[in-house]
Structure 1
Amino acid sequence: MAPSDTSTSIVLTNLTGPQIQCGKTGLDTYSDVLFATPTGPSGQPHPLKMDIQAPQGVSRAPLVVYVTGGGFISAGKTNGLNLRSYVAEAGFVVASVEYRTVSDGATWVDGVSDVKAAIRYLRAHADQYRIDPARVAVWGESAGGYLASLVGVTAGMSEFDVGENLDQSSAVRAVVDKFGPSDLARLSDDFDPATRRAWLAPETAAARYAGVGAGRSLLDNPSAVAGADPITYVDRFDPPFLLMHGSADTLVSPSQTLLLHTALRATGVDSTRLVLTGANHGDLAFLGSPAAALPWSTQEVMDGLVQFLHTHLAPA
């Protein structure tokens, strides 16, 4: 694997510190909350649900919308429960949302629209879930990190706000992107030739989600791929970003977050990139590997994420 430039990043080398502990703060939970029902490719309704955790004893809390990974193939809202609980116990309402994937015949446009629909729904129901609608962030992992970044850089683009609660904004004040792609044609840049060829083969999940067309690869339709890239939409009005990547990620090239980090900083956006030395791809739900997930659930790493949220979702 080619090493990624870390000169503008914060490098963490001790990944064996204490793991996070949950259960110290009471949480109210709301499961299977229906937030949108878009129409699928066959014309059938596709209900989308979310699970919400809200800290007890707080009248209004900032909102963090969590977008799970799953390789553009799945999007289980029950994933990352320990991580979500830790953030909720730190004083945030955390909503884990479903979104459409290639398994549903969807593309990235649908996924972004689904996450934005969830944000609008939660703002419309802020009183019910004790949310401060002025303080909203989005946090995603892997494919979810990709969608979180797209949500952050497409604020105000009406083509992605479809469905209900259109009187509410889908803009966010902060983005956390953990090991998400940002430039799909370069998704495998850091890997060996055989792995690069596999990622750039026709009909991969990433190619299908980018909407390149049947039988095509990420290299066969540059304009479609560019339209699907978060890096395409970066401008100086974007919210602050926290980007996180493992230096030994074998699924998404570590340089993907570096490309986005560099583009954000070039426009003057507040961007912080954390590199976990030796850490692999941390999406436990997708990999099914507890060992790969452990560096991502240390107290040091999660406290950094929580501090970023506290800083950028502080009362105005």
Structure 2
Amino acid sequence: MMKTLKILLLVLVTGSIGYAQTPKWDGQSFRDVPYKQVGQRKLLMDIYMPETQVSEKAPVIYYVHGGGWAAGNKEKFGQPLMLPMFRQLSKNGFVCVSISYRLCKKGQGVLMRDCVTDAMDGLRFLKQNSEQYSIDPDRIVVFGDSAGGQLAQMLTYASPENFVGDPKLAEIDVQPRAGISWYGPSDFTDVNLFKTTFSDKNPNRFGSRITGDDNGYKKNPKAFEEMSSYYWIKKDSPPMLVLQGDTDATIPLPHAIHLKEKADRIGADVEMIIVKNAGHNWRKAGGDPVPGVEEIQRISAEYALQKVTPLKQQD
């Protein structure tokens, strides 16, 4: 009975189990906009217009939520961990977009590449409808946390033509200006990257979400490469900011280092910030995180702003 009461209280307070209610927004907003349909299901996004309009065509921060590719929704936009960053960008003229995508739930036949394809189609939809929402489609920064961090990396690095979904959107070419990844995994082919002394979690626990088979790597290693941003990054890839906690037991620090080392080796633009004393979701682990959450939000927002600022204003 007590457990049931706690769950009901959580739902009343947050609007959903574990996720914040859609936030109050000072600017105009378009909620539950369908960006594609898969079978009978419509996939939705929320579009939050700038609180301060600074130009006719606005840059975009495009948020892809975390949740292990199996949980979560676009309402995560409203969590205290995320919302201050979006508000800061909105005040600087950004359109803020948050999407939901298909999830890798057992028995539904959805794989991780479907999540990538949906996120790609969301970008295509925005470009197709850029006039309606006063968006500059050439100034989009993608951002995600955890599984969403992996999706943000894939949106930044992977070839869109490899992830074609809705045929009505297939011909629309998309290329983000930059990406921001909070504690997102970079390589599924090396199980050692998921091993950590901070946890005894199965390091191969995400394999079934890539192929639908717990032993999928042996049968189809290329599918694991396809979902690994490490194999997509090139010298001329858009820039990426990677933030990672040094004591993260869910997505360990070596993932960020692994990607950064390859970027440095090939001359790609990846900036890495290691957050000390931080676990997943910037939880305290051994002390107060350094930099702290507010500073992480500020750094991320300023990175996005810097990457969409016209060059003539940067000089």
What residue number does 1:267 align with? 266
What residue number does 2:245 align with? 246
What residue number does 2:26 align with? 26
Inter-CA distance 278–217: structure 2 relative to 1 (3 Å threshold): farther
Amino acid at match of 1:56: E
Higher relative contact order (CA 8 A, sep 6+): 1
What residue number does 1:139 align with? 143
Inter-CA distance 214–165: structure 2 relative to 1 (3 Å threshold): closer
Does residue 160 (structure 1) correspond to residue 163 (structure 2)? The answer is: yes
Q: Does the residue aligned with 1:128 lie in a helix, a strand or coil?
A: coil
Instruction: Give the whole-Å Cα distance in 1 for the aligned partners of 2:272 and 2:218.
Output: 27
Inter-CA distance 193–130: structure 2 relative to 1 (3 Å threshold): closer
Does residue 186 (structure 1) correspond to residue 191 (structure 2)? The answer is: yes
Instruction: Give the whole-Å Cα distance in 2 for the aligned partners of 1:207 and 1:272.
Output: 28
Q: Equivalences for 1:206-217 in 2 at 5 Å?
A: 206-211=206-211, 213-216=212-215
TM-score under structure 2 normalisation? 0.79
**Per-residue displacement from partner, 1:27-82 (whole Å, max 9, x unpaired)?**
222111100112xxxxx333110111111341321011100000121131000324
Q: Does the residue aligned with 1:113 lie in a helix, a strand or coil?
A: helix
**Per-residue displacement from partner, 1:178-236 (whole Å, max 9, x unpaired)?**
1001112336544139726x222xxx3x112221x434265664333222211111111
**Per-residue displacement from partner, 1:135-192 (whole Å, max 9, x unpaired)?**
011101100110110111113x412133123343221110101100111233654413
What residue number does 1:50 align with? 45
Does residue 65 (structure 1) correspond to residue 67 (structure 2)? The answer is: no
Inter-CA distance 105–311: structure 2 relative to 1 (3 Å threshold): same
Aligned residues: 275
Give 1:310 shift. Answer: 1.3
Residues 48, 98 of structure 1: 8 Å contact kept:
yes
Instruction: Give the whole-Å Cα distance in 1 for the aligned partners of 2:33 and 2:273.
Output: 33
Residues 141, 180 of structure 1: 8 Å contact kept:
yes
Instruction: Give the whole-Å Cα distance in 2 for the aligned partners of 1:56 and 1:310.
Output: 15
Instruction: Give the whole-Å Cα distance in 2 for the aligned partners of 1:71 and 1:279.
Output: 19
- Identity, % of aligned pairs? 24
Instruction: Give the whole-Å Cα distance in 2 for the aligned partners of 1:301 and 1:135.
Output: 22
Inter-CA distance 191–33: structure 2 relative to 1 (3 Å threshold): same
Residues 187, 256 of structure 1: 8 Å contact kept:
no
Residues 45, 99 of structure 2: 8 Å contact kept:
yes
Q: Provide structure 1 residue ranges, at least 5 long, that are not aligned to the other structure.
A: 1-22, 39-43, 284-288
Instruction: Give the whole-Å Cα distance in 2 for the aligned partners of 1:123 and 1:109.
Output: 21
What residue number does 1:76 align with? 73
Instruction: Give the whole-Å Cα distance in 1 for the aligned partners of 2:310 and 2:266.
Output: 25
Q: Equivalences for 1:112-123 in 2 at 5 Å?
A: 112-123=116-127
Q: Does the residue aligned with 1:127 lie in a helix, a strand or coil?
A: coil
Report the more deviating stretch, 146-155 or 104-113. Answer: 104-113
What residue number does 2:178 align with? 174
TM-score under structure 1 normalisation? 0.79
What residue number does 2:305 align with? 310
Instruction: Give the whole-Å Cα distance in 1 for the aligned partners of 2:118 and 2:199.
Output: 34
Instruction: Give the whole-Å Cα distance in 2 for the aligned partners of 1:254 and 1:173.
Output: 25
Q: Does the residue aligned with 2:226 lie in a helix, a strand or coil?
A: helix
Q: Provide structure 2 residue ranges, at least 5 long, that are not aligned to the other structure.
A: 1-22
Instruction: Give the whole-Å Cα distance in 1 for the aligned partners of 2:40 and 2:257.
Output: 38
Instruction: Give the whole-Å Cα distance in 2 for the aligned partners of 1:46 and 1:100.
Output: 9
Inter-CA distance 128–270: structure 2 relative to 1 (3 Å threshold): same
Amino acid at match of 1:191: T
Alignment RMSD (CA, Å): 2.7
